Chains A and B, each alone.
Chain A
Amino acid sequence: MNQILISRRSILRGGGALVVSFAMPSVASAASAESLSPAGKSLSGEAVDGFLSIGTDGIVTVYSGKVDLGTGVPTALAQMVAEELDLTLDQIHMITGDTALTPDQGTTSGSNSIMKGGMQLCAAAATARNALLKMAGEKLGVAADELTIEAGVIKPSSGGEGIGFGELVGGKTFELAIDPDAKFKSPDTYKLVGKSIKRFDIPGKVTGTFDYIGDVRVDGMVHARVIRPAAIHADLVSVNEDSVKDIPGLIKVVREGNFLAVVAKTEWAAVKAADALEVEWSDWKGLPDQSKIYDYVRNSEIDKTDVVATAGDAAGALANAKKTLEATYSFPIHSHASLGPSCAVADFKDGKLTCWSPSQGNHALQKQLAEMLQLDAQNIRIVYVEGAGCYGRNGFEDCTADAALLSKLLEVPVRVQWMRHDEHGWDPKGPPSLADLKGAIDDDGKIVAWDSQFYHAQSVGNAVTLVAADLAKLSHQPGGRAGSVQGNADLGYKLPNVQTSVHWVKNTPFRASWIRTPGRLQNTFANECFIDELAAEAKVDPFDLRLSMLEDPRGREVMERLRKLSNWETRPSPASNQEGNIARGRGVAYCHYHNTFAYVAAVCEVEVNRESGEIKATRFYVTHDLGQVINPDGLINQVEGNVCHTLSRTLHEELQFDNSSITSLDWVSYPVLTMTGAPEIIVELIDRPEEPPMGGGEPSAAIVTAAVGNAIFDATGVRLRQVPFTPERFKAAAMD
Chain B
Amino acid sequence: MPQSVTLNVNGKTVSIEIDDPDMPLLYALRNDLGLKGPRFGCGMGQCGACTVLIDGSSARSCSISVGALDATAEITTLEGLGTPENPHPIQAAFIEEQAVQCGYCVNGMIMEAASFLKENSKPTEEEIRAALDNNICRCGTHTRIIRAVKRASEAA
Contacts and interface: CB of A to CB of B under 8 A. Distances in A.
Given A208-B77, A341-B40, A675-B145, 10 more contacts: A206-B103, A210-B103, A268-B24, A338-B138, A340-B39, A389-B102, A420-B43, A642-B140, A667-B136, A675-B132
Given A204-B84, A266-B31, A211 B36 contact: yes
A361 B89 CA distance: 37
A206 B140 contact: no
B100 interface: yes
Nearest to A389: B102
**Among B40, B41, B95, B144, residue most surrounded by chain A Cβ atoms (within 10 Å):** B40
Contact of B133 (A388, A674, A679): A674
Given A199-B98, A248-B19, A207 B138 contact: no
Interface in B123-155: 128-130, 132-146
A147 interface: no
Given A208-B37, A388-B104, A666-B44, A268 B138 contact: no
B61 interface: no
B78 A208 contact: yes
A638 B37 CA distance: 24
Interface of A: 69-72, 198-199, 201-212, 214-215, 248-249, 266-269, 271-272, 337-341, 386-391, 417, 419-420, 633-634, 637-638, 640-648, 666-668, 672-676, 678-681
B99 to A, nearest CB: 8
B41 A420 contact: yes
Given A420-B43, A642-B140, A678-B146, A202 B100 contact: yes
Nearest to A674: B133
A337 B138 contact: yes
A206 B95 contact: yes
B40 to A, nearest CB: 6
Given A268-B23, A269-B19, A645-B138, A212 B84 contact: no
B36 A208 contact: yes
B140 A72 contact: no
B31 A202 contact: no
B103 A214 contact: no
B102 A386 contact: yes
13 contacts: A205-B100, A205-B103, A206-B94, A209-B83, A210-B36, A212-B36, A267-B30, A268-B31, A389-B101, A634-B98, A667-B47, A675-B132, A675-B135
Given A209-B36, A668-B46, A70 B20 contact: no
A203 B103 contact: no
Contacts of A675: 128-130, 132-133, 135, 142, 145-146
Given A267-B31, A339-B137, A339-B138, A207 B103 contact: no
The 5 A-B pairs of least Cβ separation, nearest first, read A70-B102, A644-B140, A208-B37, A389-B102, A678-B142
